[in-house]
Amino acid sequence: MNERSKELEEQVLRTLSASSRGPLKPKELARELGIPTDRYRHFKRSLTGMERAGKIYRVKGSRYGVPGKMDLRVGTLSLTRNGDGFVRPEGSGGDVFVPSVNLASALDGDRVVVRIEGRPPGRSPVGRVIKVLERARHTVVGTFHRSRRFSYVVPLDRRMSRHVLVPSGEESTADEGDVVAVRIDAFGDGNGNPIGAVEHVLGSLADPGVDVLAVAHSYGLALEFPPEVLAAAQRSAGEAGRDPGADRVDRTDLVVFTIDPADAKDHDDALSVRELPNGHLEVGVHIADVSHYVVEGGPVDLEARSRGTSVYLVDRVIPMLPEILSGDVCSLRPDVDRQAVSLFLELDPRGHVHAERFERTTVRSRRRLSYEEAQQVLDGTGSLGADLDEALRRLDDLARQVRAQRVARGALDLGLPESRVILDQDGVPVDIQKVERLETHRLIEDFMILANEAVARATEARGLPVLYRVHEPPVREKAEELEQFLHGLGHRLPRRKVLTPLDVQKLLDAVRGRPEEELVSTVVLRSLQRARYDPANLGHFGLASKAYLHFTSPIRRYPDLVVHREVVRSLIVGEPARERDPDEMRAIADATSAREEAAEEAERDSVALKKVEFMERHLGDELDGRISGVTAFGFFVTLDAYYVDGLVHVNSLGDDFYRLQEGSYTLVGDRGRRRFRLGDRVRVQVARVDKEARHVDFLLVRKLDRTKV
């Protein structure tokens, strides 16, 4: 957008916001702005573009107004599994609740205009979708079925409650029960079903790999790179590999090494440490110089921007960059020279940063370490050689000091467990393991956070056009719900207008080691907003950080690549900060935030599928677990042995009629007052497994002692 168009948009928004007559017709608005007659047609086209973008809204009589003055909100729709939705408004403001009957034709992820129709006290506003501005998906994955009169597809994503009708002749080669990807040609009006055509037949859900393939198609993940992108990556790997570029410093003398999961294929970051004459330590954080290989605006860059992030599904990686870059020339592999952007931090023994500098470097990793191998050195049960052993111990000592400072200012450590699905060579799940968090995980996390904060401070000080990683404080409604829940457990938060990270961290410290620790951590997590990318530095609540961004993973995250270009341009080469279109930066931030969210959901779904498949062999088994979620229709239980969730439906609790007490996350029986609360321990029986619905049903055997482990 040029400056003239931008100025016109700002004038339109100011005029409509200040209008005492309400919405204005185009000619009335043109008169207010002094638009000459020969520019009126162009002016109307500009209004149409602003309307399409959701910046203004047209009401009856072809009058325009700004959404905020008409109780309208523009935002992204997220559907729950029971069919209701929430719209997250763009800019400021809390979520708007949209009942399923008010969704019209909108689907999960769509960008919509919602009209607020009610404001229940103590709850989110209630609204109705009145327009879909942008569709999140044009392809749906589901199971193909035939009836006597027509064919239809039942979406695998249960947030899509309506079947997609498939007209005769649009079935491709699909047979009954096949998993297919169907292109939506008409979305309906809310009363009628969407209509589409089968584009891909993926196979039976029971076939190896089809389940995860279905997840990839559901989230629009590109499994292959276009030929022109692969060709451009190949050229870049050769040309940029032969020319290291200007201002490159040879740092191959440093003891550099990577620490990653044992099965990692790409290595973004490496560390080094050496003692300085003044007794301080210099930590080098060496990050793959992807910007050297990916030309801004070129085919590889545009494809990476579209993908936004690499996606780590349970049985495969869908990379942001072609393999020749992500797994080869950009990856900091051992025993080969690699180009890097290095941040050198001078720290004293107590972990305080005294100086920092940036270099474009050539480094050579001495060793590719797994977290487990590095942990053996710290535990004294293994050795990697004198140099590496000493480096790891020094870094561990520093990391503990750096971490203590971060915790002291209020950075949150929720410590919630994660799971790993173990597959055999045919992709069949053979075990579900809880991931153990080692000190080496913390070590890498500590130095990556430290580096990201250092870069954020430097870019903000120079006004560089980068994307910050922002995490805003909890909205007031969520904070009040958290306070109400904690009161029921005998815990309190300080009464403040705005909750601080230190308040939350003190709470987490207070429950550490107690029976309710995991319960409180889960509820705290649910009360927090999502972290996202933004051109403005809005701080990071979870890290209690005034400035934070992502710098350390440019192989797999596009915002990191944006940051690298500005670091190289201004902090290393010394060029002045460049001007970038704010609308373009906002578009990149919003798109990469959305792609990250989709990637996380796809990763969770792929794991959930394999968990369900794994539980098929445990039908009828009795297992212990903890209530991890409570709804009006039942409670979810996470098993101790396998870290798998399943539902105990209220209909299976035949002893009473149970009602949900939302504030306390509790189901209570009307007659016996029996209670099932988040965190309660129970024994359940695996009753039913539905792979298509990604669902496991449990039957309650009995409640257990809450303190039993």
**What homologous superfamily is domain 71-134 in, according to CATH?**
Nucleic acid-binding proteins (2.40.50.140)
Q: What is the pLDDT of residue 95?
A: 83
pLDDT of residue 709: 38
First to last CA, the chain: 60
Q: Which of 86-100, 229-243, 548-562, 668-682 has the lowest mean pLDDT?
A: 86-100
The four Cα atoms 118, 120, 121, 125 give a dihedral, to 10 degrees, of -60
pLDDT grade, residue 662 (50/70/90)? low
Q: Which two tokens stand for residue 585?
A: 């930066």
| pLDDT digit string, tens, across residues 677-697 | 888 899 999 999 987 777 899
d(CA 580, CA 196): 40
> Percent of the chain scored above 70 by pLDDT?
97
- pLDDT digit string, tens, across residues 586-629: 989 989 998 998 899 899 889 988 999 999 999 999 999 988 88
What is the rounded CA–CA span in Å between residue 110 and residue 78? 8
More confidently predicted of 526 and 682: 682
Q: Cβ distance 535 to 586 under 8 Å?
A: yes
pLDDT at 410 over 70: yes
Examine domains 139-204 and 619-703 and report if their fold is the same.
Answer: yes
For residue 379, what pLDDT band results from cuts at 50, 70 and 90?
Answer: very high
pLDDT of residue 100: 86
pLDDT of residue 218: 84
**Secondary structure letter of residue 568 according to DSSP:** I
The secondary structure of the chain in percent helix, strand, coil, rounded to multiples of 5, reads: 35, 30, 35
Q: Which tens digit of pLDDT belongs to each residue from 130-145?
A: 888 888 888 899 999 9
Question: Residue 305: helix, strand or coil by DSSP?
Answer: helix
Residue 461 has pLDDT above 90, yes or no: yes
Q: Which CATH class is domain 139-204?
A: mainly beta
Q: What is the number of alpha carbons within 13 Å of residue 502 lying toward its C-beta?
A: 6
Greatest Cα pair distance in the chain: 84
* SS3 of residue 629 by DSSP: strand
Using the predicted structure, report yes or no on whether residue 481 has a pLDDT greater than 60: yes
The per-residue pLDDT for range 200-252, each reduced to its tens digit, is 999 988 788 888 898 898 888 999 999 999 999 999 999 887 888 878 999 99
Q: Is the pTM of this model over 0.85?
A: no
Decide: 137 and 157 in contact? Cβ < 8 Å: no
Do 167 and 161 touch, CB atoms closer than 8 A? Answer: no
User: Does residue 318 register a pLDDT over 80?
Assistant: yes
Residue range 251-274: average pLDDT?
95
Q: Is residue 436 pLDDT above 70, yes or no?
A: yes
The backbone torsions φ and ψ at residue 592, rounded to the nearest 5 degrees and listed phi first, read: -70, -35
Residues in the chain: 709
CATH class of 619-703: mainly beta
Output the pLDDT for position 180: 94
| pLDDT tens string 155-213 | 887 777 789 999 988 999 999 999 999 999 998 776 788 999 999 999 988 788 888 89
Note the Cα 94 to chain centre separation in Å. Answer: 19
The reported pLDDT for the residue numbered 91 is 63
Taking 50 as the threshold, does the pLDDT of residue 708 lie above it? no
For residue range 482-500, what is the model confidence (pLDDT) as tens digits? 888 887 777 888 877 778 8
What local confidence, expressed as pLDDT, does residue 2 receive? Answer: 60
Residue 639 CA to residue 636 CA, distance in Å, equals 10
What letter represents residue 159's amino acid? R
Question: Is 90 exceeded by the pLDDT of residue 20?
Answer: no
Among residues of the chain, what percentage have pLDDT more than 90? 51
What's the fold here for domain 3-66?
Arc Repressor Mutant, subunit A (1.10.10)
Structure token pair of residue 78: 């997220």
Are 335 and 364 a contacting pair, CB within 8 Å?
yes
Q: In the numeric block, which tokens belong to residue 651?
A: 């209909």
**Is the pLDDT confidence value at 74 over 60?**
yes
Domain ranges (residues) in the chain:
3-66, 71-134, 139-204, 227-468+547-604, 619-703
Predicted confidence (pLDDT) at residue 367 exceeds the cutoff of 50: yes
222-226, 236-240, 369-373, 660-664: least confident range: 660-664
Q: For 158, phi and psi rounded to 5 degrees?
A: -70, -5
User: Which among 623, 159, 215, 156 has a CA at the least distance from the CA of 432?
Assistant: 623
419-423, 494-498, 527-531: segment of lowest average pLDDT: 494-498
Q: What is the mean pLDDT of the chain?
A: 89
Q: What are phi and psi of 177, to 5 degrees?
A: 90, -5
* Angle, helices 210-218/582-615, rounded to nearest 10 degrees: 160
Q: Considering only CA atoms, which of 452, 451, 399, 394 is closest in space to residue 273?
A: 394
